[in-house]
Amino acid sequence: MNPVPKISKAPAPLPANDNQIPANQDISDFLRELIPQDDAAADALCRRGERMATAVVVVMATCLVAVPLLFAGLVYAGVGVVP
């Protein structure tokens, strides 16, 4: 017969607070290096992001239209296997 383990009556320890940044690692200095300070660089960064977002939307729309049409065409042609 296995002995029953004793349950401690001591209060549970507080969870660690991982949200506090150590004093020697200030993230704001690092972020200031990443953010461009002049308006021309910030505008170029925004334009590049907008172009990437537009390309992603166009590719997604193309795939959402083309893949079902391709599947339907293959099934209609008898190439696809339908269970």
pTM: 0.51
pLDDT at residue 55 above 90? yes
Residue 5 counted as domain residue: no
Mean pLDDT of the region 52-69 = 96
- The count of domains in the chain is 1
Lowest mean pLDDT among 18-22, 33-37, 45-49, 51-55: 18-22
Please give the Cα distance from 55 to 14 (Å, whole number).
Answer: 48
Residue 57 counted as domain residue: yes
Token representation of residue 66: 């083309």
Residue 8 counted as domain residue: no
What percentage of the chain reaches a pLDDT higher than 90? Answer: 28
pLDDT of residue 69: 92
DSSP for the chain? Answer: -PPPPPPP-SPPPPPP-TTSPPTT--HHHHHHHHS-SSHHHHHHHHHHHHHHHHHHHHHHHHHHHHHHHHHHHHHHHT-S---
